[in-house]
Structures are given as structure tokens and as C-alpha cells.
Chains A and B, each alone.
Chain A
Amino acid sequence: AQSVTQLDSHVSVSEGTPVLLRCNYSSSYSPSLFWYVQHPNKGLQLLLKYTSAATLVKGINGFEAEFKKSETSFHLTKPSAHMSDAAEYFCVVSEDAGGTSYGKLTFGQGTILTVHP
């Protein structure tokens, strides 16, 4: 069974400083991993995805994440925070169970990112 743990429920940074949102996962198979962002009263937007290619994945808006199998981690980073980055971020896992998949994404509990001027 797959699961996701986001290690921080809230992260607060100043504008222009680095962002680090931490995520650990558990999976019985080779997982695909994603980060989604949700702005208030909005749907979910895909930031980036890892699907067994390069371990360092670049996404939209300057975000990137590194897949570390030995640490079962997929942390999200950005060198310099912008006010518009304030939102809730979800780490998500999908399992490819022997070539079959029934389309389930498993979400973490979310990390709320606050950016101060």
C-alpha cells in the first residue's frame, strides 16, 4: 500500500528566501510522485512529477524536487519565495503495481506555505 507523509503542516518564509517543503513516501512498487498546489478556493494545479526518469525534477514557477529512493523522500524546493507562492501544497504518490493501476492518487495532508513581505 502507498502512503505519503508531509513533515510540516505549516511553513513560513520571507519573500526572497528559499522554500523547503518536506515529503516522505511509502510504496511497495516503483512509485510516481507529484507535487500539486492549491490556492484558496481553487482546484489543484500540477507543479511537477517524477516518473522514473531524472531524479531531479523541474516544475513550473521555479520549483523543483529531488527523488531520493534511499531516503524515500521527495522534497520540494524553490530558491527564492514570491508572495504569489502562498498556498497549500500536496505531495502525491501513485503506484504502478506490476503494470496495472486503478487510477488512484494518494495525497499527503498538505503543507500551508505562508510568505511574509
Chain B
Amino acid sequence: DAGVTQSPTHLIKTRGQQVTLRCSPISGHKSVSWYQQVLGQGPQFIFQYYEKEERGRGNFPDRFSARQFPNYSSELNVNALLLGDSALYLCASSIVRSANYGYTFGSGTRLTVV
């Protein structure tokens, strides 16, 4: 079975540009969450989507947005990129909404803003 897949694996963007990252959850998983991992730090929660609705949001500016499609795949959009947005963006999926059972993570998208 395929795990959580993310695309692209690497991306270079210029300050001020917009970027879209994609995630396909494990088949049957209805919950998708996004995390940002800046170099040298632990991942930080950005969003959770469950059954196509936003269920949780971390402390990130409105430049960050996301959505979940009927097939439960998800996109993360970041507008007006800043140098500080350079990070590894991780997608995680689970069958249920609760985080108490843990998530399965993808390998991430490495975003570099120059």
C-alpha cells in the first residue's frame, strides 16, 4: 500500500511568490494535517482537515491556507512568500480526526525561498 505521498519533493521560490504543495493521504484516511519544520526545530502544526472541513489551525498568518478535496487529498497554499517560510512541509494522515492515535507522515516538501 502506498503511504502518504507529497509533491513536489523540492521547490525553490522567490520572495513574494505563491506556492502550492500537494498531499495524498493513505487510502481510507479522511484526516490530513500540515506541519512546518524549520531547520533545527520540531514540526509546528499548521492545519488539520477532516471530511473536507478545516478542524484546527495553528498560529500561522492568513498567508497560509489549505483545502481538502472529495478524494481526501489536500493542498497547502502559501502567498507572498517570505524568507522565513523556507522549511520542510510535512503532511500527515489518519483514519480518525483525533490526534491521540498518531499520524502517518509523508517525506515532506523542502521549500526554499530566495
Residue-wise interface mask of A (86-106) relative to B, using a CB-CB cutoff of 8 A (1 in contact, 0 not): 000010001010000111111
Residue-wise interface mask of B (17-49) relative to A, using a CB-CB cutoff of 8 A (1 in contact, 0 not): 000000000000001010100000111110010
A107: nearest residue on chain B (CB-CB)? Answer: B42
C-alpha gap A36/B42 in the complex (Å): 11
C-alpha gap A45/B43 in the complex (Å): 13
- Once A32-B101, A90-B42 are accepted as A-B contacts, the answer to whether A104 and B58 lie under 8 Å apart by CB is yes
Q: Is A82 an interface residue (CB 8 A)?
A: no
C-alpha gap A106/B46 in the complex (Å): 11
Q: Is B90 an interface residue (CB 8 A)?
A: yes
C-alpha gap A114/B102 in the complex (Å): 26
Q: Which residues of chain A come closer than 8 Å to B92, judged between CB atoms?
A: 44, 105
Residue-wise interface mask of A (19-59) relative to B, using a CB-CB cutoff of 8 A (1 in contact, 0 not): 00000000000001010100000111110010100000000
Q: List 27 interface pairs A-B (beta carbons < 8 Å), by A numbering.
A: A32-B100, A32-B101, A32-B102, A34-B102, A36-B105, A42-B107, A43-B106, A46-B103, A49-B101, A49-B102, A51-B100, A90-B43, A94-B99, A96-B98, A101-B97, A102-B56, A103-B31, A103-B50, A103-B97, A103-B99, A105-B35, A105-B43, A105-B92, A105-B99, A105-B103, A107-B44, A108-B42
